[in-house]
Amino acid sequence: MTARALMFQGTGSDVGKSLIVAGLARALVLRGLKVAPFKPQNMSNNAAVTADGGEIGRAQALQARAARMAPTVDMNPVLLKPQSEVGAQIVVRGRVYGKAKAADYQALKPDLMGAVQESFARLKAGADIVLVEGAGSASEVNLRNNDIANMGFARTCDVPVILIGDIDRGGVIASLAGTKAVLDPDDAKMVRGFLVNKFRGDPALFAGGMARIAGATGWEGLGLIPFFPDARALPAEDALALDQVQAGKNDPKLKIAVPLLPHIANFDDLDPLVAEPAVEIVRVRPGTALPGDAQLVILPGSKATLSDLRALRDAGFDIDIAAHMRRGGAVLGLCGGYQMLGRVLRDPDGIEGPPGEAEGLGLLDIETTLSGEKRLEPVRGITFDSVPFEGYEMHMGRTDGPDCARPFASLADGTTEGAISRNGTVYGTYVHGVFASDPQRSAWLARFAAGTAQIRYDDQIETILDGLAAHLEAHVDIDRLLTLSR
């Protein structure tokens, strides 16, 4: 029997679509259903590698975990990864399809709808229900022509829609009623109900607001969802999460500075460190100096490494990092950050932007040349200190040089990876997700005399997903959602 499906669209970005789908996936799994998450088109530089060697948006990987399924490329058949001057890299079913600027991509979308429909059909064939997440805002009617992400998909595949509004940012009545006003009438008929997310305070005070929205739209109110603070500890996909104010730590033992560059990618690598009580992560935007008392600077991944290297220098972060090294500090580069640490970075074929090359920071004796071949693979092994880890590689380019003779990691297949400086204070690796390993975090904390890991990261994620499911069970009419699915 073919699965039923229900789609969740939003009045805007960051209204909570991804988390609501994840929480509902876990809630329905706990009810005994087989659930598959699906997002036809995603735009994010935070991605995850699937077991079959593809890549999908980080949110769909979290939703798959919530559904207790292994992530597959069918869960996010079209992934757009913004770059610099070249627009976005287009990933179809986990593999690089090409690159295009925004206007050119609009013309490509009809060619991609077939891949979207095929992936959706495969998921439906193996599940009881497919929970579909829209992209951005349903009210972006200027993008409606050839749409594959929101109403275009819903209409083509005949999937009912639930619209989500965010009351925390204000104006939720207008945003929901306004969406109804601008939607094509046939698109608006696809919407079966609405949810209001991130409510703070006494729910009784917004009973009239729910009724006003229902009256203005003709849509059924299916839940007023109180703010769920633990959600901030789940892996985020949207770079808007980088603006969240972190809770203060009572007595941090290790301060880590992280320069935020325009094309930052896979920033969820740092989430396990953020969760540690003894660690303070200081995210530093251009215009602010790196803190002088940080023991470690981490350069995260980038989707446009040469461009971000220029931005790093323009911000004066290279000067701050040099001063940090003179004070005896350490530096860790992850993926694109690793490439920046070398002597030279070359992009002869214009993989991430206009062809060119640039002098790196010179903290590692390595050189990197970008190429069209992309390595996408889950990996495991031991790091230089014999501590085990599991993670994944997701990068384009080859790195060589004398410091590679001191590898960051030895992989299970017998190869080595990464580099360490001669004095042992600069580290570079292509491995993402290494800090999700509890022994790895303990080793890094011990290296800076900050104790050992105080949390079990995977257990914490599971506990939060269970809590989110219970939260939605209490505040959303899930029985009605199941009735509305088709």
Annotated active-site positions, please? 335, 432
Per-residue DSSP letter, 220 = E
Q: Cα 103 to chain center, whole Å?
A: 24
Distance CA 346, CA 262 (A): 19
Q: Cα 160 to chain center, whole Å?
A: 26
Backbone dihedral angles phi then psi of residue 250, each to the nearest 5 degrees = -65, -45
Q: Compute and round to an integer the Cα radius of gyration of the chain.
A: 23
Contact by Cβ (8 Å): 443, 290: no
Contact by Cβ (8 Å): 20, 225: yes
- Return the number of other C-beta atoms located less than 10 Å from residue 414's C-beta: 7
The one-letter amino acid code at 193 reads: G
Decide the pairing of beta strands 426-429 and 330-334: parallel
Smallest CA-to-CA distance from 302 within 99, 89, 73 is with 89
Neighbouring residues of 244: CB distance < 8 A, sequence distance ≥ 6: 232
Smallest CA-to-CA distance from 195 within 434, 482, 478 is with 478
End-to-end CA separation in angstroms for the chain: 12
Q: Which residue has the tokens 């925390």?
A: 168
Element holding 112 (H helix, E strand): helix 102-125
What's the token pair of residue 421?
Answer: 């400086």
